[in-house]
Homo-oligomer: A and B are copies of this chain.
Amino acid sequence: MTETLVASQSKETIIGFDRPFTVIGERINPTGRKKLAAEMNEGNFETVIADALAQAAAGAMILDVNAGVTAVDPNKTEPPLMRQTIEIVQNTVDLPLCIDSSVPSALEAGLEVAKGRPLVNSVTGEEDRLEVILPLIKKYDVPVVAISNDETGISEDPDVRFEVAKKIVEHAMDYGIKPHDIVVDPLVMPIGAMGTAGQQVFALVRRLREELKVNTTCGASNISFGMPNRRVLTGHFLAMAASHGMTSAIMNPLHDEDMHAIFAANVLNGTDKDCRAWTSKFRPPLAEGQESARGARGGRRRRRG
């Protein structure tokens, strides 16, 4: 029954074993989006605002915010841009945020301005990262994504990745951070490059849940990198991972394939109570006769009022 509380100023999202799967919207991220990077560099946040609104409307429950517009001197450029982007996003939508950077000072800049209880993305198993990020997590009392790689890189052996995750959880506990505030990313490899990538994630997610009792997340679309018909493959990966106990993903809520997979997984994992979310999303529209009957009733009621 592990639960990770993430919050904006007034809205809570709980990532949890018995909760509907948590959709973390991935769009506000200039990595690989040259146009967005250029806009953000120029102080133009129109796309950021549009992406925030669109993802919220599509059902995102947390918004990832990344401000990595340049590889040149990110220690200087990223903190102020992260601060500004967070402020703009939280003035646009009232959703919990995920502060996403590999630059510790950018994470801290985001933490200084983010309202509520943001999720920090991320810490790895590298010693110098642990020593810098975990004190921040403790200081701000926020949850953190733990990526299961370390100084040796990303192991192809899932047992090694499990041990790295375990090491991060233990280090965090030394700082007084509870396992329920660690959301482990077991690392999703492209299936086109590593044929066991799917099975590895499914097995790792089960172990992380049963043995470490932590919530899990991943960058879902990595699985289909380089493959044709990526969206359908990513969608099914999400449903399969969820059925093995994955509790959240950084994904694209604007892709119907992703969202339908999440809705279906919630139904089939028993976290969509009485299938209410599914039926309200997909209930067929009323036929014309029914519509006009309803209209007539409404009309009568209005005439009475």
Contacts and interface: CB of A to CB of B under 8 A. Distances in A.
A270 B239 contact: no
Find the residue from A278, A281, A283 having the highest chain B CB count within 10 A: A278
A267 B233 contact: yes
Contacts of A191: 267-268, 275
A281 B232 CA distance: 13
Interface stretch (A70-78, A115-123, A132-140, A222-230): A222-230
Contacts of A243: 198, 202, 240, 243-244
DSSP class of A's interface residues: helix, strand, loop or mixed? helix
A233 B264 contact: yes
Nearest to A240: B243
Given A191-B267, A267-B198, A273-B195, A279 B239 contact: no
A285 to B, nearest CB: 10
A269 interface: yes
A227 B279 contact: yes
Contact of A192 (B195, B227, B240, B275): B275
A197 to B, nearest CB: 8
A199 B267 CA distance: 10
A220 to B, nearest CB: 12
Interface of A: 191-192, 195-199, 202, 223, 227-229, 232-233, 235-237, 239-240, 242-244, 260-261, 264-265, 267-270, 273-275, 278-279, 281-284
10 contacts: A191-B275, A195-B274, A197-B268, A223-B268, A227-B282, A236-B265, A239-B239, A240-B240, A240-B265, A243-B244
